[in-house]
Amino acid sequence: MNVRELTTYFRELADEPDENFLTSTQVENYLAIAYDEFRSEICNIDQLAFVEAVTIMLTGGSTYDLATGAVVILGSAAPAGDRMLRLISIALPVTGAIGQPTLRPVSSLRALNHTPNSYMLQGTTLYFSEAHSASYTLSYLPVSAVDWSKTAVLDDEFIDDYTSHHDVIALLALLQYYIRDGIVNAPAVSRLDQRIQALREHVGNRVFSASQYVQTATNW
């Protein structure tokens, strides 16, 4: 589904024809919240599903501010489509090597000082265990750039490639609507549980099949 089709489906589920009671802005907000939950479900199984990558450069230092540096993906100046939601990994590119050695994430400055090749994100600043002059590849989950206002007849706003499970987004959005009105809808909750389980199985099988293919293709 695209945004227009999913919005129509959500309104059919909500069964509220009065747009004064359920406004377009409210629907956009419910769908945006639901889509964040949808992506989180997917990323809990396949953290690379929506991954983006940027390269940052350290020049003899051990910190990098992602809100004020040359590459900005946090803070008020971050472009909407590039803003980081979750940091996945930091890797040091190696010419001619297969794969990239990744740094180890830690959660405190104490651990950083005692763990070689590690990093910590605190606020908008990355702290590295050693000072380097090198480029690093940051893999991260960006904030969704889907425009949920694209509901005109000719609009064709793309969501993602998990089309067969987009009904989950509408069902999650429906829960937001029910919470607002204090409604308990057991059939909708039951259906949502079934569809989330199907989504998890789909993503899990997709990741497993891909890893199996790579293993088979590289071990003749």
Residues 84 and 39 grouped into a single domain: no
Q: Using CA atoms, how far apart are residues 172 and 190, in angstroms rounded to an integer?
A: 12
Mean pLDDT for the stretch of residues 93-102: 65
- Full DSSP string of 8-29: HHHHHHHT---TTTS-HHHHHH
pLDDT of 98 strictly over 70: no
40/57 same-domain check: no
Amino acid occupying residue 178: Y
Domain boundary among 109, 142, 175: 142
Residues 172 and 122 placed together within one structural domain of the fold: no
In a domain, 74, yes or no: yes
Confidence (pLDDT) at 212: 41
Are 33 and 76 found together in one domain?
no
Asked if 11 and 18 touch (Cβ cutoff 8 Å), the reply is no
- Asked if residue 122 and residue 89 are part of one domain, the reply reads yes
Mean pLDDT across the chain: 89
Indicate the residue among 114, 142, 170 that finishes a domain: 142
Together in a domain, 130 and 94: yes
Q: Is the pLDDT of residue 14 over 60?
A: yes
- Name the domain boundary from 116, 142, 168: 142
Query: Tens digit of pLDDT for each residue in 160-198?
Result: 999 999 999 999 999 999 998 888 789 999 999 999 999
Residue 155 lies in a domain: no
Is the pTM here over 0.75, yes or no?
A: yes
Whether residue 57 is found in the same domain as residue 137: yes
**Is the residue at 149 inside a domain?**
no
User: What is the model's pLDDT at position 94?
Assistant: 64
* pLDDT value of residue 181: 83
Whether residue 122 sits in one domain with residue 67: yes
pLDDT, residue 96, reads 54
Q: Are 42 and 60 found together in one domain?
A: no
Are 70 and 36 in a shared domain?
Answer: no
What total of structural domains would you count in the chain? Answer: 2
Mean pLDDT calculated for residue range 211-219: 37
The confidence score (pLDDT) of residue 183 equals 82
Per-residue pLDDT at 52 exceeds 60: yes
Structure tokens at 23: 């406004």
Predicted confidence (pLDDT) at residue 101 exceeds the cutoff of 90: no
Q: Which helix (H) or strand (E) holds 202?
A: helix 186-217
The residue range of the domain holding 107 is 52-142
* Cβ-proximal residues to 188 (8 Å cutoff; 6+ apart), any chain: 13, 171, 174, 175, 178
Percent of the chain beyond pLDDT 70?
90
How many angstroms separate the Cα of 177 from the Cα of each of 5, 35, 80, 163? 18, 14, 26, 22
Same-domain status, 63 and 23? no
Residue 70, amino acid: A
Contact 54, 71 (CB under 8 A): yes
